[in-house]
Amino acid sequence: MAEKPSRQKLGLVVTPIVALVVAAYVGDALTTTWADRHPLLLVLLNARSRILVLTTNQLSAVSYYVAGTVRLLSSDPLFYLLGRWYGDAMVVWVEKRSKSFGDQIRLYERAFTKAAYPLVFIAPNAYICLFAGAAGMPVPSFFAVNIAGTVARLYLIRRLGEAFDAPIRSVLHFFDRYRVPLLIFSVALVVFVLWSDRRQGKDEIGSMLELAEHPPDETEAVEPDPVEPGRGEPEAEAEPED
């Protein structure tokens, strides 16, 4: 585990993560409006698979691969660095503050212990990148596997877009025809998702801001084994009688 960062140094990592989360929400809200008119800007805001499918046929190969790779990889080194800095304490911190995703995070964690490199290649989400940093995966290996997996994903989506060009064009035509109503609906949906996530303890922005204010410490890396109900403390062994 690397040396703990100062608050200022931690802020330099948390701030861009928050900015990327906000950009993703904006991209979700503008998908129906920008998918046909501003596909490159939309990908830079949010490179979800569905957005990549909608925009790939409208972008040149260079624009698609460069924008897609940059956006998909933008947050990965930041989460890797958090894991590298705080180790297991960061993992426990995330588990405790993810009320709805605690079990899912532990599932990712168990899978990572068995197949770290395949997971970084196939599904380098925030949790996997965090685990990679906490586990001390070498930086060159992390970037090599992550970039290779990202490019492979973009290639498959590019081929998918070519195969379903006609249906995609139909969807984009529908977006164009009902542009204003769909924009209103999309914005309302994003606002609802933000409100719902906050209620369920899945507020990404709030979690990152809390991390900047209250970073994890070593005491969070070790959790005592819970005492089973009804058992209480273990009984001391009786001394042998003379």
222 within a domain of the structure (yes/no): no
229 within a domain of the structure (yes/no): no
* Domain membership of residue 100 as a residue range: 7-214
225 within a domain of the structure (yes/no): no
237 within a domain of the structure (yes/no): no
2 within a domain of the structure (yes/no): no
79 within a domain of the structure (yes/no): yes
Q: What pTM value is reported for the model? A: 0.83
When divided into structural domains, the chain yields a total of 1
114 within a domain of the structure (yes/no): yes
Each residue's pLDDT tens digit in the chain (242 positions)? 567 788 888 999 999 999 999 999 999 999 999 999 999 999 999 999 999 999 999 999 999 999 999 999 999 999 999 999 998 888 888 777 665 556 677 787 888 888 999 999 999 988 899 999 999 999 999 999 999 999 999 999 999 999 999 999 999 999 999 999 999 999 999 999 988 877 776 678 888 888 888 888 754 554 444 444 444 444 445 555 54
Query: In sequence order, what DSSP letters do the residues of the chain get, joined into one string?
Result: -PPPPPHHHHHHHHHHHHHHHHHHHHHHHHHHHHTTT-HHHHHHH---HHHHHHHGGGS-HHHHHHHHHHHHHSSHHHHHHHHHHHTHHHHHHHHHH-TTTHHHHHHHHHHHHH-HHHHHHH---HHHHHHHHHTT--HHHHHHHHHHHHHHHHHHHHHHHHHTHHHHHHHHHHHHHTHHHHHHHHHHHHHHHHHHHHHTT--HHHHHHHHHHS---GGGS--PPPPPTTT-SPPPPPPPP-
